[in-house]
Amino acid sequence: MKLADLGDVRLHYRIDGPDDGAPVVFANSLGTDLRLWDPIMPLLPAGLRVLRFDKRGHGLSSCPPSPYSMGSLVTDAEKLMDMHGFKDALFVGLSIGGMIAQGLAVKRLDLVRALVLSNTGAKIGNADMWGERIAAVLKGGIEPMADAVMERWFAPDFRATPELELWRNMLIRQEVQGYAGCSSAISGTDFYSTTASLRLPALGIAGSEDGSTPPDLVRETIDLIPGSQFQIIRRTGHLPCVEKPEEYAQILIKFMRDTGHI
C-alpha cells in the first residue's frame, strides 16, 4: 500500500507491472475503492503498467470535508500521474471516474492518449437530485439508501449471489463526507461542450441494466467524440467489470490493440 501526499489530500494508490510497460490508469466509481478493478486485473495482458487509486474521500485516501469540485478530482489524478511518470496512458474511468477521465483529457492531452468512458456521462443527473441525496446522506448516513444503490449497480442475476454483500459492505463503510463531497462534484459537472472538443481514440462501455448511467446516456456522451466506439454488455448494471469481468476485459484488450497501445 502506498500513499501520495498531494498537499491538500493524500491518495492511496497501487502500481502493478514493469516500469517500461504500456501505461494504463483506472479510476473507479462513487462509493467504491480501487478494488473495483480486482476482477479484471488477472485477465489483462502481461506487461502493462497499471495505476489504480482511491479518489479523495474514498478507500484508504484521506477525506477532506465536503464539498469537492470536479476540478480538484481531476487535479488529483493529474498530480498522481505526473508524480509517477504516467504519460500517453490509456485512461479507463467508470462513473465519476469517467468524468475525471473527460476532464483530464481536456486539460492534459499529453497524459491521455486514449479514453475508455465506462458507465458514465458528460453530465449525470441534475442538481436537485444530487442535492436531495447529499442531504439524506449527511443526515442519515449511507446505510438507508444502500439497497436502492445495489439495484442501480447490479442486474438481478448478480444481486442473487452472495458476492452482493461484499459490494454493499464497501458502500456502507464509505466515509459520509467523501460520498457527499464527490456527489457535489458530480452535481456541478457538465462536460458536454468540453468533451465534444476531444480528438483522441475513445470507447464507451455501458451495462444494459444500468440504473445510474443508462446506455443511452453513455452512447450520447461517447458520440460527442468523433470516431469513437461503443459497446454494451448485456445483463449487467453500473459495474460490468464486476458482473462480467471476462467480457469487460476482452473489450478493453481489443481496444488496446485497435489503438496500438499494446
Q: How confident is the model at residue 1 (pLDDT cuts 50, 70, 90)?
A: confident
HSE-CB at 110 with a 13 A cutoff on CA atoms is 4
Cα dihedral across residues 255, 192, 242, 46: positive or negative: positive
Instruction: Pull the grid cell for residue 65.
Output: 470535508
Q: What is the mean pLDDT of residues 22-29?
A: 98
Q: Is the dihedral of CA 59, 61, 63, 64 positive or negative?
A: negative
CA distances from 216 to 74, 144, 195, 228, 249 (A): 25, 29, 16, 15, 22
φ, ψ for residue 117, nearest 5 deg: -105, 100
What percent of the chain is predicted at pLDDT more than 70?
100
Mean pLDDT of 102-123: 98
In angstroms, the CA 40 to CA 33 distance is 14
Q: What is the DSSP string of 124-162?
A: -S-HHHHHHHHHHHHHH-SGGGHHHHHHHHS-HHHHTST
- Over residues 162-199, the pLDDT tens digits come to 999 999 999 999 999 999 999 999 999 999 999 999 99
CB neighbour burial string for 57-82, b if at least 16 within 10 angstroms, e if fewer: bbbebbbbebbbebebbbbbbbbbbe
Do 180 and 138 meet the contact criterion of CB atoms below 8 Å apart? yes
**pLDDT at residue 38, as a whole number:** 98
Residue 206's H or E segment, with its range, is: strand 202-207
Mean model confidence pLDDT for the chain: 97
Distance CA 77, CA 81 (A): 6
* DSSP-assigned beta bridge partners for residue 10: 5
Q: How far is CA 79 from CA 8, 13, 116, in A?
A: 12, 12, 20
pTM: 0.98
CB contact at 8 A, 33 and 150: no
pLDDT score of 64: 97
